[in-house]
Structure 1
Amino acid sequence: MLARAFAKPQKRKNSQCGSNNAYSNGELYYHDDYSMAEWYMDEQSLVFCDKARHDEECGTVFGSHPTLRDVLRSAVAVLGESCMGMTEKVVLVQGRIYAMKRFKTVGISKGRFGKRVERLAQVGRGSPYLAPVVAYLYSKRVKVVMQEHFPMGSLADLLAEGREGCTTLDWPQRLAIIIHVALAISFIHNQHRPRIRSMQMNVHGNIKASNVMIRDDFSACLSDYGFTQLAIPDCLQQINSPNPNYHAKMPSPPKDHPTYVTKCNHTEKASQKKDVYDFGALVLDMLGGPRAPGMVHCIRTNKEGIENGKLEFFEFATNVKERNEALVVLDTALACVDELAAERPSMNRILSLDVFRKYTACLHQSTLYSAHN
């Protein structure tokens, strides 16, 4: 899997939002198609959220600030696409590499956009489990936010590669990623000033595998914190659906059965309870494969068979100790995707469970040791 950090990215197909192409309005284009964009390029400059980083990045190469033209011509690969927009790999001066989120549509003014991104960047610097927001740019037709780039890619990439025959993530790696994501969400939910000028600072809003970034040591951090409050809500309805080519080894009801509901298409207004639901769906995907989030009723019905080993559910090998841990995490994920929002546990309660608490205690001790030395 480390080879992916040095592999040449492949060009991906356009994603669809319903029956409409995500780029039908001409506001977005591929990184090598500059002829479509030259007519609206202007001299808007990239704004760095950290002044020290701004001074380091700008230097004298661009004169003062990287412009929109500089930024767009620095894009070398498409990393991902969604109804919010497109994520590209950008190589700026001195080889600095970033992931650039280019929004399809933004529903707020330039001033408010800048203030929100600055605030999100400030909060994000308080947790090692949130992908750092580096800079932003707002022009008439192009609005972008720059984040740190992770060569290993996203959790969605690693899971997909494992299911296609490449080396799969083992249970300790999956558990660590789950806990890192939980710590990131808990940090967001515990923000002391939940609202700043109508902006919810204590809600992530778009938790999914493609927004979980993986470092070289297989630790994880959550990206796109608060980005749903920058884009128009209508662009946020598409959420990844299960892979129909993945065949679960657990019995499932017919697809026209009323209990077969694709829960990863579950839509609620952004809230902490919605974040918890999305976290549960993410964990189910990591445990039982991409169809698992849409088979919650079936999983609950067959829970006894899963526990005694008569039904194969987990998509990774485990020993006895690991299997017991995975079963506890499965129970937690099922509680998170409860249809009644009030019944879903808080992230603090989830992290208080033994399987999570033991790991976070070791993580805390390791952090203290590193800081002391």
Structure 2
Amino acid sequence: MKVRTLILGAGAAGLFCAAHAGRDVLVVDHAKRAGEKIRISGGGRCNFTNMDVSAKNFLSQNPHFCKSALARYTPWDFIGLVSAHGIGWHEKTLGQLFCDNSAKDIVNMLVTEAEKEGAKLWLETEIIEVRHTDRFTVSLRRNGKDITVEADHLVVATGGKSIPKMGATGFAYQIAEQFGLAVTETRPALVPFTFSDSRFAEVSGIALPVLARATTGPAFAEALLCTHRGLSGPAMLQVSSYWTSGEAVDIDLIPTIDLTETLRKARSTDPRKSITTILARVLPSRLVDHLTAEFDLSGNCAEWSDGRIENLRLALSHWQVKPTGTEGYRTAEVTLGGVDTDGLSSTTMEAKQVDGLYFIGESVDVTGWLGGYNFQWAWASAHAAGTAIANRA
């Protein structure tokens, strides 16, 4: 069987590329349904993009690589497509856009767009081998039969290693290395932290707004969630992308609270009340109990000097915790690292040394923040590759 373009992977990037790659496109995937990771994203409502997207929202060894694709396919372009399909959407915090109804609406839209352009979709299809001479030759197994497909263009959109229970593997990296492309170190990102001493089990379920950061990287003003295994919530997921094993995470537990004013006032109005009682007015009481020993929260308000209040303020605004590790690829939303961008064209996503070979989406060393950024990279990189293929003779 011969096709002009073969796309490996029917996820966000693969399906979107199929809608832009022109004639004679075949998309193959091992899953029973297309867009499986899209279906579970955003709590089932798909955080499909963000209102404010720029290169600063992405991690890569080359922070400039993503700029071209992101500039040529913007969030507003995708919003226009979503609206044209009659899909209701709404903005949550920090510019995050979600479907009003279901993430399945996005999957259906992508499949419809691809099929409208004549693309064929083969699901439950196993990729056996990829070879290249004058054309790409890919051995597949479908419905118990071995099929060989030849293609002028091969697009690798098989994603990273995150959420292996859905079939995620490092297959894209194997193909890259097979064709001489470098792959940067990969690890789980946007993933909860774990602690070997189960120190947060007693406060599991507590959530509060914090300002958190790793040793390097920006500070994130989002929610923290205590779990039986450790710390999660948007703030921790964001920080995990910048965290290095063995380092501490700096957490401001009182980013919007003037603790000095609160405690000084209580010293006058409620001198006989314990300091923990006053703290429980501004922080979850179970968390206050949990921190009592660590910060010596003994005594009544009248006993607390200005110096002791200031020391507590500093301690709570720079709470240092050292995770044992993370929950790994099992729950990671994305994979940090991937196909080295030095080997790819930033305008077309094509391999510089292998004509007709493209890598898009999560397989590339471009990793977005939490909040719709990784989907926008999928759309933008897929559009870049698809339009480049469509415009080739």
Q: Give the number of the structure whose alpha-carbon radius of gyration is greater.
A: 2
Q: TM-score normalised to the size of structure 1?
A: 0.26
Whichever structure has more strand as a proportion of its residues is 2
Q: TM-score normalised to the size of structure 2?
A: 0.25
